[in-house]
Amino acid sequence: MHGWTGKILRVDLTSGTVRTEALNPATARAFIGARGLGTKIMYDEVDPTVDPLSPANKLIFAAGPLTGTFAPSMGRFDVVTKGPLTGAIAASNSGGAWGPELKYAGYDLLIVEGRAAKPVYLWIEDDAVAIRDAAHLWGKDVPETTERLNEETAADAKVACIGPAGERMALIASIMNDMQRAAGRSGVGAVMGSKNLKAVVVRGTGAVTVADREAFVGAVTRAATKIKEHPVGGTGLRLYGTNVLVNILNSVGGLPTGNFQEARFETADKVGGESLAAHQLQRPKGCFACIISCGRATKVTNPKYKGRGEGPEYETAWGFGPDCRIDDLDAVTKANYLCNEYGMDTISMGGTIACAMELFSRGLLTREDTAGLELDFGNAEAMVEAVRLTGTGEGVGVLLAEGSYRLASRFGHPELSMTVKKQEMPAYDPRAVQGIGLNYATNNRGGCHVRGYTISPEILGVPVKADKDAIDGKPELVVLFQNLTAALDSTGGCLFTTFGIGADEFAELMTTATGVPYTADRFIRAGERIWNLERLWNLKAGLSAVDDTLPPRMTGEPIPAGPSKGAVSRVPEMMPLYYAVRGWDGEGVPTRETLDVLELA
């Protein structure tokens, strides 16, 4: 096989056994890789009703066929499992260099089963795979764990690990790789902790072969040129990172503020990408084979929040900033550093603190509940301390670690949790941007923007401008973007490459790399197949059309002020047409005809 290594590594932590298997070429062609292949294995092997933190759940690290090639910004991988935060299928995507290293070691996927009797880590060096004791690493944060494992294994090995949050099975725990990159969403770090697996360390000496090198070089050159020439992919993200969106969303009245009570923050510019570039940025930073460099290597000199690391990106700056009504960039960046060190999802962490602040402001969460921590909106010091307490598992952090839905439910007001399928929504108000609201509501992993990024046409006008307030044509647009993203995720590619290239270019890269003749239609059809299989898995897990909804605030409380004043989400109007476009019945279940077309029947 080309592109794919053709090999799966399976590790059973209960028995301590390791074995390799051949990847089925037909399955690879149909589901591409990464997110797609991980979902197929979960569907075939894991009971969707399984307790996500039980040994019966599986944890799948999956790279794509373009991961590890020299295609532009194609070095990503997915962690696929049942998410403990949502109860839905999770495919948490990460960059860095860990995914390519798994391919160089010879594997498309690593499937982790069972539970170790004591803390362990995996050391993979090509064909040599060992399960090693990790008792000395348990309790260590991500940087120290990474440094010590590089000393114990190889200096150039790549480390994916959990921090203390994952060890305690915090439902918002992430898996960190390359120290600063995160497979962040849905609580995948908690699943890793439930297996007593501290880290997976990989070093590979192989390479990824392509079917037609000359044609692949041509496809790569054309794709890279288009990305570099694009004003967003080639210039904007390098200059200001994703955080450039703070001021853009604020200007249109779509920046959620104060736990989504408002959609505009007067001093948002203080935490935006321009301010970060002026005061904290050390240099732009990219992942493997990246030509975009949206990452931010930053440094804070303020003694109160002193530190250095990577970030914040847009959702992080918003979550710890405007959503908590905080405009102290140093505090926001420190919260980001703490999440990376303890291994926590910044979107869920920020959203949960914002929810706690609203509960506190209403007198529902008291000083007794917070052990005296003043969780007022705008209190930057309390916000940073709340992040630290969640990471260490102290005080109110024990409650925050469960996410905002469980927190708000505990105090009798689940409607104050700004979540979809119990996962915190990102930094785009669905009342102000209609398509992204429909994407949130129908997303297979809950509140998520990167699986159907309609912000691109609705706000940025890429590839064409769509009216953010209109609902006509939005179901079709959302379905197209969701299918395209599912396919793109499965290649190992970065979402931001779509600021320059589309399905035609992805199909050419896949064809020349794998030798399988993909067209744009076949590529998007693979994404549709993956999306529907995720839906089938969720239906078997107990989710239904009832879960395809937004928090009541989004449909019942109009935006009170600003450019989008008076707007509410119109998701209920769009949902029947979305189901029809998907080929699902009125209850959101794929019809037999749809499954036949997608070869899923």
Q: At which of 371, 401, 424 does a domain end?
A: 424
Are 235 and 30 contacting, i.e. CB atoms less than 8 angstroms apart? Answer: no
Whether residue 405 is found in the same domain as residue 442: no
Residue 541, judged by CB atoms within 10 A of its CB (0-12, 13-18, 19+), counts as buried
* Segment 485-535, tens digit of pLDDT: 999 999 999 999 999 999 999 999 999 999 999 999 999 999 999 999 999
Instruction: Say whether pLDDT at 74 is over 90.
Output: yes
Whether residue 54 is found in the same domain as residue 192: yes
For 184-217, give one letter per residue: b (16+ CB within 10 A) or e.
bbbbbbbbbbbbbbbbbbbbbeeebebbeeeebe
Whole-number pLDDT of residue 601:
86
Could you tell me whether strands 197-203 and 120-125 are parallel, antiparallel, or unpaired per DSSP bridges? parallel
Are 211 and 513 contacting, i.e. CB atoms less than 8 angstroms apart? Answer: yes
Q: Does 280 map to a domain? A: yes
Whether residue 379 is found in the same domain as residue 448: no
Q: At which of 374, 393, 424 does a domain end?
A: 424
Instruction: Say whether pLDDT at 192 is over 90.
Output: yes
* Segment 266-308, tens digit of pLDDT: 999 999 999 999 999 999 999 999 999 999 999 999 999 999 9
Whether residue 382 is found in the same domain as residue 480: no
Q: Does 209 map to a domain? A: no
Q: Tokens 């035609």 appear where?
A: 504
Q: At which of 378, 394, 424 does a domain end?
A: 424
Domain count for the chain, please give it. Answer: 3
Peptide bond into 463 cis (omega under 30): yes
DSSP 323: G
Question: Which residues partner with 283 through β-bridges?
Answer: 297
Whether residue 537 is found in the same domain as residue 502: yes
Q: Tokens 């004591």 appear where?
A: 118
Residue 159, judged by CB atoms within 10 A of its CB (0-12, 13-18, 19+), counts as buried
Between the alpha carbon of residue 344 and those of residues 142, 340, 350, 415, 455, the distances in Å are 11, 6, 10, 24, 25
CA distance 67 to 61: 13
Whether residue 276 is found in the same domain as residue 333: yes
Structural domain of 282: 241-424
Question: Which residues partner with 344 through β-bridges?
Answer: 173
Q: What is the DSSP string of 435-489?
A: HHHHHHHH-TTSS-SSSS-THIIIII--SS---TT--TTHHHHHHHHHHHHHHHH
| Res. 57 pLDDT band, cuts 50 70 90 | very high
Peptide bond into 312 cis (omega under 30): yes
**Percent over 70 (pLDDT), the chain:** 100
Task: Choose among 164, 151, 154, 150: nearest CA to 192.
Answer: 164
Q: Does 271 map to a domain? A: yes
Whole-number pLDDT of residue 398:
98
Q: Does 1 map to a domain? A: no
**Percent over 90 (pLDDT), the chain:** 100
Q: Does 218 map to a domain? A: no
Angle at 423 between CA 417 and CA 424, to 5 degrees: 55
* Segment 472-495, tens digit of pLDDT: 999 999 999 999 999 999 999 999
**CATH at 49:** 3.60.9.10
| Arithmetic mean of pLDDT, 181-192 | 97
Task: Choose among 338, 317, 335, 382: nearest CA to 163.
Answer: 338
Are 376 and 367 contacting, i.e. CB atoms less than 8 angstroms apart? Answer: no
State the number of CA atoms in the 13 A half-sphere of 209 facing the CB.
8
| Arithmetic mean of pLDDT, 247-251 | 97
Q: Does 236 map to a domain? A: no
Instruction: Say whether pLDDT at 236 is over 90.
Output: yes
Instruction: Say whether pLDDT at 226 is over 90.
Output: yes
Whether residue 335 is found in the same domain as residue 314: yes
Whether residue 443 is found in the same domain as residue 404: no
Whether residue 416 is found in the same domain as residue 444: no
Whether residue 170 is found in the same domain as residue 53: yes
Q: Does 217 map to a domain? A: no
Q: Is 561 left (phi over 0), alpha (psi -120 to 50) or beta?
A: beta
For 9-28, give one letter per residue: b (16+ CB within 10 A) or e.
bbbbbeeeebeeeebeeeeb
Are 5 and 108 contacting, i.e. CB atoms less than 8 angstroms apart? Answer: yes
| Arithmetic mean of pLDDT, 220-241 | 96
CA distance 495 to 488: 7
**CATH at 549:** 1.10.599.10
Whether residue 410 is found in the same domain as residue 440: no
Q: Does 223 map to a domain? A: no
Are 543 and 87 contacting, i.e. CB atoms less than 8 angstroms apart? Answer: yes
Whether residue 190 is found in the same domain as residue 71: yes
| Arithmetic mean of pLDDT, 312-324 | 98
Residue 251, judged by CB atoms within 10 A of its CB (0-12, 13-18, 19+), counts as middle
**CATH at 416:** 1.10.569.10
Summary mean pLDDT of the chain: 97
Whole-number pLDDT of residue 600:
96
Task: Choose among 246, 145, 242, 252: nearest CA to 200.
Answer: 145
- pTM value? 0.98
Q: What is the DSSP string of 44-79?
A: HHS-TTS-TTSTTS-EEEEE-TTTTSSSTT---EEE
